[in-house]
């Protein structure tokens, strides 16, 4: 049970960069799944306000799956707030690129495929820098 990933969903409220139908479709799938999950209005806004909740969302031993945008952006939104995501326990599901169906499937699959490694490099250090 400890290895079952936690799920975090970003609604990307303040821009139209994630297609509305993808966000709605993924959220619907999560609601139908009966799975526990965290939903936040906008990770960028949380990073802008250095919301301490980012540390809570990144914390814990369980792997995390994050439905948001590009992994590189998500990694450094957290890293910039001194809430580093574990490079070997985090998978970002990119709702800017995937269909709602594929994003939901990836999110609800218990297998975690970490994808926060630096470009072209193996997963190594956890990003932590300050804004």
Contact residues toward other proteins (CB under 8 A) are 1, 4, 6-8, 11-15, 17, 24, 27-28, 30-53, 55-57, 59-60, 62, 69-77, 79-80, 96, 118-119, 121, 127, 129-131
Query: Encoding tokens for residue 12?
Result: 């990307």
- The least distance separating other proteins from the CB of residue 91, rounded to whole angstroms, comes to 15
String of b and e for 62-99 (b: at least 16 CB within 10 Å)? ebbbbbbbebebbbbbbbbbebbbbbebbbbbbbeebe
Which residue, 45, 28, 103, is CA-closest to 69?
103
- The least distance separating other proteins from the CB of residue 98, rounded to whole angstroms, comes to 13
- The least distance separating other proteins from the CB of residue 103, rounded to whole angstroms, comes to 16
Nearer to other proteins, 15 or 111 (CB): 15
- The least distance separating other proteins from the CB of residue 48, rounded to whole angstroms, comes to 4
Nearer to other proteins, 41 or 88 (CB): 41
Query: Encoding tokens for residue 114?
Result: 């970490």
Nearer to other proteins, 38 or 102 (CB): 38
SS3 95: coil
- Say how many C-beta atoms besides its own lie within 10 A of residue 58's C-beta: 21
């Amino acid at each position: 049970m400890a290895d079952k990933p936690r799920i975090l969903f970003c609604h990307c409220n303040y821009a139209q960069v994630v297609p509305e139908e993808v966000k709605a479709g993924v959220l619907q799938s999560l609601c139908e799944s009966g799975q526990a999950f965290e939903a936040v209005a906008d990770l960028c806004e949380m990073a802008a306000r250095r919301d301490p909740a980012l540390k809570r969302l990144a914390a814990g031993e369980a792997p995390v799956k994050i439905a948001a945008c590009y992994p590189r952006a998500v990694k450094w939104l957290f890293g910039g707030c001194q809430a580093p995501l574990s490079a070997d326990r985090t998978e970002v599901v990119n709702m800017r690129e995937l269909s709602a169906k594929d994003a939901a499937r990836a999110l609800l699959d218990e297998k975690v495929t970490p994808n926060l490694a630096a470009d072209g490099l193996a997963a190594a250090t956890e990003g932590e820098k300050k804004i």
